Amino acid sequence: MSNADLENVSCSPRGSADRILMALKTQGPLSSAALGKQLGITGEAARQQLLRLGEQGLVVATSEAKGVGRPLQLWRLTPAAQARFPDTHANLAAQVLEIVRTHMGPAALETIINVREAETRATYGRKLVDKTELSARGAALAALRSDEGYMADWRKEPDGSFLLVEHHCPICVAATACPGFCRAELDVFRAVFGPSVSVARTEHIINGGRRCAYAVRQDVA
């Protein structure tokens, strides 16, 4: 199943994977057996589909105790999957930003960006306060960003630098309408890693890239 197939899940999805996503969206967490019954396939076939969706970061399983016996494994959508359903809020956000720009002026829009940046920086600062090593701090940041729907990865490169990759942008519509949000996010990353670390954006979704990527390197004193 391609990303294009998932970008606009319709009310009558055709493929089993799409139907699973729709069922989890409308009914909440379900077991593979329950999903299989709804789809008219075996529970094992549903489980295999769920495993593939899990590899794509779209579903996750949790165990729930149900009396005596083995815990029941329930599957739910991840934030990344939630972001793939049609959402008029994104277009509304872009419209509101344009209204602010047109009727209140660029200064008002800049205030919105600055407030969001300050709040994000403060939130990340609180959650990463105990992560002092660059590798641990980056991994924790990637986890936070994934929780927000960015599908982020953090890895070490052969030259000793690190790469922060975001495979999805949940604010893409707003960022396209107002690139200042992307500038602010880069400033947040630089603040999170501190003055002794350089952060450079190397790929950018709103400029046609497949993903957003950031090269992170410890500066040599």
- Given this model, what pLDDT does residue 3 score? 36
* Residue 150 identity: Y
Query: In which band, very low, low, confident or very high, does the pLDDT at 95 lie, cut at 50, 70 and 90?
Result: confident
- Given this model, what pLDDT does residue 75 score? 94
Residue in the block written with tokens 């379900």: 30
The stretch 84-107 carries a mean pLDDT of 81
- Given this model, what pLDDT does residue 83 score? 66
Residue 67: is its pLDDT beyond 80? no
Q: Six-digit token pair at 57? A: 């970061």
Average pLDDT along the chain:
86
Q: What is the pLDDT of residues 2-42, one digit of tens each?
A: 333 333 333 334 577 888 988 887 788 899 999 999 889 99
The stretch 210-215 carries a mean pLDDT of 91
Helices (H), 71-216: 79-82, 88-104, 106-127, 134-147, 172-177, 180-193
Q: What is the pLDDT of residues 183-202, one digit of tens each?
A: 999 999 999 999 999 999 99
Name the percent of the chain lying above pLDDT 90: 55
The stretch 106-134 carries a mean pLDDT of 94
Contact 46, 32 (CB under 8 A): yes
Alpha carbons 6 and 30: distance in angstroms, whole number? 20
Contact 64, 71 (CB under 8 A): yes
- Given this model, what pLDDT does residue 5 score? 38
Query: In which band, very low, low, confident or very high, does the pLDDT at 65 lie, cut at 50, 70 and 90?
Result: confident
Residue in the block written with tokens 């990303």: 3
Residue 44: is its pLDDT beyond 90? yes
| For the chain, counts of helices (H) and of strands (E) | 10, 6
Residue 172: is its pLDDT beyond 50? yes
The stretch 38-47 carries a mean pLDDT of 91
Residue 115: is its pLDDT beyond 60? yes
- The pTM of this model reads 0.62
Residue 1: is its pLDDT beyond 60? no
What three-state secondary structure class fits 207? helix
Q: Cβ neighbours of residue 91 under 8 Å, at least 6 residues apart?
A: 173
Pairing of strands 197-203, 59-64: unpaired
Q: Cβ neighbours of residue 201 under 8 Å, at least 6 residues apart?
A: 182, 186, 212, 213, 214
The stretch 124-140 carries a mean pLDDT of 95
- Given this model, what pLDDT does residue 195 score? 93
Identify the helix (H) or strand (E) that includes residue 21: helix 16-27
